[in-house]
Structure 1
Amino acid sequence: MEGTSSLIAPRERLCTLGAEVLPPDLIDDSLPLYTLGYEAITWIERNLLQPNGPQAGQPVRLVPSQAMFLVFFYAVDEHGNWVFNRAVRRLAKGSGKSPFAAMLALFELLGPARVAAFDDDVPGGVVGMPVSMPLVHVAATSQDQTANTMRMIRAMANKRTPLARNYRLDVGKTYVETPDGGRLQQITSSASAAEGSELTFAVADETEHWTGSNGGKDLAETLDQNLGKTGGRLMETCNAWLPGVASVAESTFEGWVQQQEWLNNPSHPDRLTSRRQQILYDARVAPPDVDLADEESLRAALEFVYEGLPWVKIHDIMQRIWSPAYPVSRSRRFYLNQPNAAADAMFTLEEWAALGPKPGDDTFPEITDGDEVVLFFDGSRSRDATALVGCRIFDGHVFTLGVWQPTPEAPVNTGEVSIAVQRAFDRFTVAAFFADVREWESFVKVSWPELYGDDLIVHAKSRGTDPQPIAWDMRSHSSEFSEATEMFLAEVQDGAFTHDGNWDTSRHIGNIRRGEYRGRLYPRKESEASTSKIDAGICAIGARMVRRIVLASPEWEERGRETGWTVGW
């Protein structure tokens, strides 16, 4: 979780004011300057009792990761506005997501969850007050999905608890009410109560299961609209999702990625969308190269994912993972918190991620001006995505130059695409540029060849009745592209190249399904009507293919003899 640099508290102040609610080793100069998080921690630990387990009946004691989440989630700026409008807790199975969601829902219903005043003498510099007539929803696409969280809410607020007596609560199976009109209730995607409510806070439970087919997308949109009326906020809980099924959990992650790209690049085209999102994303994900069969590797990964959670029994989880009846894909999604591809997916995200940049690795290859590269383009105007991907000739490093997604209101902007192509030729030495013809014929057969054709060493079609420097119609090269796909898959599995970690391309790679063309492997979408795009993945396969074509060409061999230049494999 990351704070905002302009809202950072001095370390000395935090060490003095935060010592009672955060372990000293977690207090550093990256914490928010203003936050109600300390009040949230204090209220929860003073008012809620542990409902089950060895500590049943004792006051709740938050673990450090839960406390840190609250400190960041309740951060405000100097005007008292929330820093984050939305949060996600994507944690491995058994991490305590449901009990924590229950605690947060009750705090929003009863506790000092809104800013009353600033006060430098209190932890977080902010004094809280209760929400006026709060309406809290615990939402899911079915009652079964909300069962765990509601069960914990009922256990923490039942009539025998001090909480129920002190706040005079009326607790039912699907609701909790206060004497002054506050209400916490369970809703599902079929509940009419969701529409039009003046919602102050919502828990969206298990959003990896929220899809268009079960009403999850509509429910998410309704919650957003209702929260927008009151300035309320939402917290999602989820396990790792199944890529390609278009779940709300995956969509929210994509929004967070856009936000991070904007934060690191103020000129990013999605900067306005990213600014509105303001998502706090809390996740602990095992490294992509975990070997599930190796005891040391698996134990280290699980200890990282479940760090600081004393109720988790690592030994028991390892036994479950090693059970012959338990699928590897479920083990990775549920216990390692890794989004894992569908059974018919061509690539695993772990394999792909292992080829990308690693945090703190200063030796990872980066693209630089003047590099000799090849390009591959796959375009669509209104249905599929359009993408331009490059591959450096020297070492085979794959990088993304652009991915454009059409909307029902606006097709792909051809001017933006042409500018990206021009910038690529301005920045790099482009040896070959292959572009699919469909829907972009005037560009790939006329305007781009006129502008760039003379600069290319290897042409897409150099012989025959209709030679083309750039146009490479995939419909007439199915067999060749099938071979390129098989080679690309082997290279991914062997770790034979690197890529820049672009999220759009990575997502498209994960969406590719195994198809067959005349007995050979071929990339395909989940279905023709699927909204899960694969076009940038197609371009990555194509860029690697074009590099091989260039390296095997007599034109490249002749150039090597002239310059004495050699390529690294």
Structure 2
Amino acid sequence: MVAADDGTWSTDFPTLFVVPDWITRHCRLQSVGGLDDTPLPFEMYDWQLRITANLYRVRPEAELGQLSTAFHFRRAQAVAPQKSGKGPWAASIVAAEGVGPVLFNGWARGGERYRCTDYRCGCGWVYEYEPGEPMGRPWNKPLIQITATSEDQTDNTYRPLQEMIRNGPLSELMRVGEQFIRLPNDGRIDVVTSSAQSRLGNPITFASQDETGIWTDGNGMTKVATTQRRGLAGMSGRSLEQTNAWDPTENSVAQKTAETKVKDVYRFHRLPPKDLDYGKKADRRKIHAAVYQGSTHIDLDAIEGEASELLEKEPAEAERFHGNRITAGMGAWLQQDRWDARRALEDVPDGTRIVLGFDGSEVDDWTGIRAETLEGFQFTPLYGPDRRRCIWDPVEWDGQVPRLEVDAAVDELFDRYDVIRMYADPPYWTSEVAQWQARHGEKRVTEWHTSRPVQMHAACEQLLTDVVKADTVFRHDGCETTSIHVRNARKAARPANRYVLRKAAIHQKIDLAVCSILAHEAASDAIAAGLARPRKSSKMLILR
């Protein structure tokens, strides 16, 4: 599941608050559609201020002289809907990175001030630090790149940046050109696109990466992103991504950032309530109100007009652009938000009657086990002394699935729970399945071949229906890996209007989705066979 901001807004951490104050003083824009065209100070919306505060969050142990390592986050990602204000906000950050106080300059003891006159700016602005507050200073020689797939895309940031410079005191420090901006001490801000990458590889102090949801291997922008990050690392620089939600079938740079497990990347992605249907006008209005919250320039009626027209031909695109949801294009088996909406927190005590679904691999795909109670709660069970999840990625096991671990996990699950059925897809695991049948009984362990289109189609449809129907009792544990694998699954057409599942791309796994289908099929069959009824207690009759 994509990492998302939890919606809280707390400032109980040290950050360079001098930066947003500096931006309001120095960056000015004309209002859009107003009667007065006088440039006004750029004041951040709440969500923009939240990201900015986290981008410049300082580690409590930071020391004077540190550059990127003084900050809690090495880079940040902002996922927000179309026209919500990402471009002007990113432009203000670039302006600050060019000539503003964005570097850690020690801890204030009381009475210290940031004076613009100390850094060649004649506006007269002064910021007084509170005791214990982190202080800021500009880069000596800032080298910045504004990057996108095309010049039209870079204009989202570059045009408001040009306006901010021309409309205020920044014009004393920054010289605007068509393709670059000159900064003090031979610093510069360059525009880089997929067709003009000659400056890539140069050391840089900051990168603004626009619309990374469409940066892919196919258009060469994945390489651009990694090259820029190497350049940033060499200068202890940092970066900011801003993007719409993405199509998860494309494995974009935005998706990789959202799914990374590293701790020094801040991600903001305001998601709407999962139980709302974007196809319904009333729900769509609620979704727009949630994801555009705080962007006061937005007219929700205008957004509805654009969204409803786009829905006619590109429903997934409309939901991504305006609903801020990660939605796959045509051929998706089950939309991730519909699956995630069934998340529930439940405990499954030892001894509970359950079924298991197993899908195995050898060296490429993943191996996993999903369990389901006969009351409709599905979960990824834990095993072993370390309570590991029953998910085995070969990469984490020296390139090969650990068969002894899997075997031990199966035995433990049969010991801990009352496992009445286990459906196992046997390819690569025929010998192990036979051993499980011998140990636990052929009535309980069954080979279930997912390669059979008639049976697989029916099983896929059964789980799909039970997830999306209004009165469903189906729920699950919110396993993040399973959620991603569900999202990756695509329909592969078969004769007689049937389908089986395939991957959206070779690297996008679906194995835990298959485990979920098998577990649910086993549960449905067990219930149909009457195994959900309470067992009768046995009585002993003594004849005298």
Q: TM-score normalised by the shorter chain: which range applies? A: 0.7 to 0.9
Q: What SS does the aligned partner of 2:318 have?
A: helix
Aligned with 1:150 (options 135, 155, 158): 158
Q: TM-score, normalised by structure 2?
A: 0.83
2:169 is matched by which residue type in structure 1? P
In structure 2, relative to structure 1, the CA distance for the partners of 1:557 and 1:181 (3 Å cut) is closer
Would the aligned equivalents of 2:433 and 2:445 in 1 still touch at CA under 8 Å? Answer: no
Output the CA distance in 1 between the equivalents of 2:303 and 2:4. Answer: 30
What corresponds to 2:326 in structure 1? Answer: 339
Q: Does 1:536 align with 2:517?
A: no
Residue in structure 2 matched with residue 187 of structure 1 by the alignment = 192
Match of 1:517 in 2: 494
Aligned partner (choices 340, 348, 351) of residue 367 of structure 1: 348
Structure 1 match to 2:171: 164
Q: Select the residue among 488, 495, 505 that pairs with 2:463.
A: 488
Deviations 1:248-302 (A, max 9, x none): 11111111xx4xxxxxxxxxxxxxxx34xx2211122211222446554333332
Distance 1:550 1:305, change over 3 A: same
Residues 326, 472 of structure 1: alpha-carbon distance in 2 compared, 3 angstrom cutoff: closer
- The reply to whether residue 394 of structure 1 matches residue 375 of structure 2 is yes
Match of 2:298 in 1: 312
The residue that corresponds to 1:59 in the other structure is 41
RMSD: 2.9
Contact in 2 for aligned 1:486/1:521 (Cα 8 Å)? no
Helix, strand or coil: the match of 2:507? coil
Is contact 1:208–1:250 with CA below 8 Å preserved after alignment?
Answer: yes
Match of 2:145 among 137, 140, 144: 137
Q: State the aligned residue count.
A: 497
Q: Which residue of 2 aligns with 1:33?
A: 13
1:77-88 → structure 2 map (5 Å cutoff): 77-80=59-62, 81-88=70-77
Structure 1 residue 182: Cα displacement: 1.5
Code of the aligned partner of 1:290: L
Q: Determine helix, strand or coil for the equivalent of 1:116.
A: strand
The one-character-per-residue Cα deviations of 1:109-145 (angstroms, maximum 9, x if unpaired) are 1111111110154257111111121211112233332
Gaps of 5+ in 1: 5-25, 259-273, 358-363, 461-470, 565-569
1:378 aligns with 2:385: no
- The alpha-carbon deviation at position 420 of structure 1 amounts to 4.1
State how 1:81-160 maps to structure 2 within 5 Å.
81-121=70-110, 122-123=129-130, 125-158=133-166
Report the CA distance between 1:164 and its aligned residue: 1.5
The reply to whether residue 504 of structure 1 matches residue 512 of structure 2 is: no
Once the 2 structures are TM-superposed, how far is the Cα of residue 457 of structure 1 from its aligned partner?
5.7
Contact 1:388 1:402 in 2 (8 A): yes
Partner in structure 1 of residue 206 of structure 2: 201
Q: What is the alpha-carbon distance in structure 1 between the residues aligned to residue 5 and residue 334 of structure 2? A: 34
Q: Flag the structure with higher helix content.
A: 1
CA distance in 2, matches of 1:138, 1:294: 38
Secondary structure of the structure 2 residue equivalent to 1:380: coil
1:117/1:27 CA distance change after superposition, 3 Å? farther
Matches within 5 A, 1:281-360: 281-292=267-278, 296-323=282-309, 325=312, 327-357=314-344
Q: Which residue of 2 aligns with 1:225?
A: 230
Distance 2:271 2:515 in 1: 28
SS at match of 1:106: helix
User: Which structure ranks higher in relative contact order (CA pairs < 8 Å, sequence separation ≥ 6)?
Assistant: 2
Alpha-carbon separation, structure 2, partners of 1:3 and 1:294: 26
> What's 1:7 paired with?
none
Structure 2 unaligned regions, length at least 5: 63-69, 111-128, 382-388, 540-544
Cα distance in 1, alignment partners of residues 453 and 39 from structure 2: 66
Structure 2 Cα separation of the partners of residues 371 and 294 of structure 1: 39
Secondary structure of 1:69's aligned partner: helix
Q: Contact conserved, 2:424 with 2:445, CA < 8 A, in 1?
A: no
Amino acid at match of 2:26: N
Query: Which string of whole-angstrom CA distances, capped at 9 and with x for unpartnered residues, describes residues 381-415 of structure 1?
Result: 22222222111123343446433334497333445
Aligned to 1:18: none
Matches within 5 A, 1:469-488: 471-475=447-451, 477-488=452-463
- TM-score normalised by the chain length of structure 1: 0.80
Question: Which of 81-90 and 423-432 deviates more?
Answer: 423-432
Cα offset, 1:187, TM superposition? 1.3
- SS in structure 1 opposite 2:184? coil
Q: Could you give the per-residue CA deviations for residues 440-468 of structure 1, whole angstroms, max 9, x where no partner exists?
A: 3333233x445x525x86231xxxxxxxx
User: Secondary structure at 2:29's aligned position in 1?
Assistant: coil
